[in-house]
Structure 1
């Protein structure tokens, strides 16, 4: 398992010559499928950010990500930051704020979302919009 907060800032390298493309700025999530879909790479102030599909990664580790290739632009979904998002039920009830999320770096599946009110299992996620992460109604598991 990896945490979103631990991936942010990791260097992103190319295989072989290990050229540094930049650092992970954010992970794009498809909340409905519960998966990380893309990595957004900060390339410095004067260069545009690069966006790489999760499937284009060759390796993911605690110290770096290695990209097979940047490839063509392809379809890039809009990015909404999961970390810091408000959490609302489908009925509009406030359920805290997202602090972090745990995911499997091999499958890109989100395992749990950590909020100010406790842990949410990934199967409760419905969608992530500009204003909030929307979840199925249910009870948040409070840590003891």
Structure 2
């Protein structure tokens, strides 16, 4: 497992020639699926941002992210995937489906091979990722635990 906070700022390199594309700005998430869908890459002095789909990530280590370049297009130019909502999880407010406040997302652990999110650490507790229902502009919505439903 690796933490989102440890991935932010890592250099992003191509697999063939180890060319530096930029640094990870954020990981975009599809909360309903419980997975990371994209790596958002900050490029250059003007801080231009590009997006690479998670399917093109070959490796995530403690000191770099390596992306595939044999997909027929230049790495880091993927844009956004259609049909899914991609948002940054860190810093989001957390609400249950009944509207109860559950803190703010401080970090999340993911499997660096599959991109599956395993746990979410909030300012109030640690939650299993399978409790995520959706992530919108306003908040991350999670399923209330049985103890929450008294």
Alpha-carbon distance in 1 for matches of 2:116, 2:141 = 17
- Is 1:41 the counterpart of 2:41? The answer is yes
Gaps of 5+ in 2: 70-74
The 1:45/1:68 distance shift into structure 2, 3 A limit, reads same
Runs of 4+ in 1 over 4 A off after TM superposition: none
Gaps of 5+ in 1: none
Deviation at 1:44, TM superposition (A): 2.5
Aligned to 1:118: 125
Aligned to 1:102: 109
Could you say what secondary structure the match of 1:6 adopts? helix
TM-score by length of 2: 0.86
TM-score by length of 1: 0.90
Alpha-carbon distance in 2 for matches of 1:68, 1:113 = 28
- Is 1:64 the counterpart of 2:71? The answer is no
Alpha-carbon distance in 1 for matches of 2:76, 2:9 = 22
The answer to which of 79-88 and 22-31 deviates more is 79-88
Q: CA RMSD in A?
A: 1.8
- Is 1:84 the counterpart of 2:91? The answer is yes
Alpha-carbon distance in 1 for matches of 2:57, 2:113 = 10
The answer to which of 63-72 and 3-12 deviates more is 63-72
Alpha-carbon distance in 2 for matches of 1:105, 1:59 = 7
**CA offsets 1:38-92 (integer angstroms, 9 cap, x no match):** 0000002426311001110122111101111217636435542211110000111
Could you say what secondary structure the match of 1:49 adopts? strand
